[in-house]
Structure 1
Amino acid sequence: MAIGSRLRLLTDKITEDAAQVYSLYGVPMQPKWFPVFYVLSRGESKTITEIAREIGHSHVSVSKIVREMVQKGFIREKKDKTDGRKNLVGLTAKGLEINEKIAAQYIDVNNAIEELTSQTKHDLWKAMEEWEFLLEQKSLLRRVQEQQKLRESSQVKVVAYQPKYRQAFYDLNEEWISTYFKMEPSDYKALEDPEGHILKKGGHIFVALYNDEPVGVCALIRMNDPDYDFELAKMAVSPRAQGKSIGWLLGKACMEKARELGASKLYLESNTILKPAISLYHKMGFQKVAARKSPYERANIQMELVL
Structure 2
Amino acid sequence: MEFYNKVGRLALGSRMRRLTELHMDQASKVYALYNVEMQPKWFPVYYSLCNGEEKTITLIAQEIGHSHPSVSTIVKEMTKKGIVKESPYKGDGRKNYVMLTEKGLSFDERLQEQFMDVNTAIEEALAETQHNLWKAIEEWEYILEQRSLDKRVIDAKKQRESRDVTIVEYDPKYQADFRRLNEEWITTYFKMEPADYQSLDHAKEYILDKGGYIYLALLKGEPIGTCALIKMNDDTYELAKMAVSPLAKGKGVGNLLGNTVVEKAKSLGAKKIYLESNMILKPAINLYQKLGFKKVLGNPSPYERCNIQMELNLAYLCTEIR
Q: Provide TM-score, normalisation by structure 1.
A: 0.89
Residue 201 of structure 1 aligns to a residue whose secondary structure is: coil
State the partner residue of 1:187.
196
Tell whether the 8 Å contact from 2:235 to 2:269 is kept in structure 1 after alignment.
no
Note closer, same or farther for the CA distance 1:30–1:261 as it changes in structure 2 (3 Å cut): closer
Count how many residue pairs are aligned between Structure 1 and Structure 2.
Answer: 305
User: Which range moves more in the overlay, 191-200 or 41-50?
Assistant: 191-200
Q: CA deviation at 1:80?
A: 4.3
Q: 3-state DSSP class of the match of 2:130? A: coil
Q: Does 1:47 align with 2:56?
A: yes
- CA distance 1:50–1:167, shift in 2 (3 Å): same
Choose from 281, 306, 319 the match for 1:299: 306
Unaligned runs of 5+ in 1: none
For residues 27-66 of structure 1, the aligned pairs below 5 Å read 27-66=36-75
Aligned-pair distance for 1:229? 4.7
Q: What is the identity, as a one-letter code, of the residue corresponding to 2:216?
A: V
**Runs of 5+ in structure 2 lacking a partner?**
1-9, 315-322
Partners of 2:187 and 2:131 in 1: how far apart?
Answer: 58
2:150 is matched with which residue? 141
1:128 is displaced (CA, Å) by: 0.9
Cα offsets for 1:238-292 (capped at 9, x unmatched): 1221333322322232233333334343333323332332333333333444342
Match of 1:105 in 2: 114
Asked whether the 8 Å contact 1:228–1:267 carries over to 2, the reply is no
**CA shift in 2, pair 1:259/1:13, >3 Å:** closer
1:156-235 equivalent positions in 2, closer than 5 A: 156-223=165-232, 229-235=236-242
CA contact (8 A) 1:47 1:88 kept: yes
Deviation at 1:173, TM superposition (A): 0.4
Q: What does the per-residue CA deviation read over 1:138-174, in whole Å, with 9 as the maximum and x for residues that have no partner?
A: 1111111111122222332111111221111010000
After superposition, where does 1:119-130 map in structure 2 within 5 Å?
119-130=128-139
Large movers: runs of 4+ above 6 Å: none
Q: Which structure is larger by alpha-carbon Rg, 1 or 2?
A: 1
C-alpha change, 1:3 and 1:284, in structure 2 (3 Å) is closer
8 Å contact kept, 2:50–2:100: yes
Matched residue SS, 2:55: coil
**One-letter code aligned to 1:89:** V
Compute the displacement of 1:294 (Å): 3.2
Q: How has the CA–CA distance of structure 1 residues 281 and 60 changed in structure 2, closer, same or farther, with 3 Å as cutoff?
A: closer
Is the 2:54–2:97 Cα contact (8 Å) retained in structure 1? yes
